[in-house]
Amino acid sequence: MQTFKIALTIVVALFVQDLLPGYLPFFQYIDLPLIVTVYVALQRAPMLGMATGCASGLAHDALVGGILGVGGFSRTLIGYIVAMVSIKLSVENPLTRLAVVGLASVVHTVLFVGLYQMLRQEHVLEQVLPHVGSWGEFGATVGWRAMGDALTAAGVFMVLDRVFAEQRAARRMAIKRRFYE
- Helix residue ranges, H only, 2-45: 2-19, 32-41
Asked if the model's pLDDT at residue 179 lies above 60, the reply is: no
pLDDT score of 16: 93
Domains (range + CATH), the chain: 2-23+32-180 (1.10.1760)
Report the percent of the chain where pLDDT is more than 70: 85
Residue 85 sits at the vertex; the CA angle it makes with 27 and 31, to the nearest 5 degrees, is 10
Q: For 45-67, what is the mean pLDDT?
A: 90
How confident is the model over 129-160, as pLDDT tens digits? Answer: 666 667 777 788 889 899 999 999 999 999 99
Helix/strand/coil percent split, the chain, to 5: 85, 0, 15
Cβ atoms of 83 and 45 within 8 Å: the answer is: yes
119 pLDDT band, cuts 50/70/90, is confident
What does the pLDDT read at residue 176?
Answer: 58
By three-state DSSP, how is residue 168 classified? helix
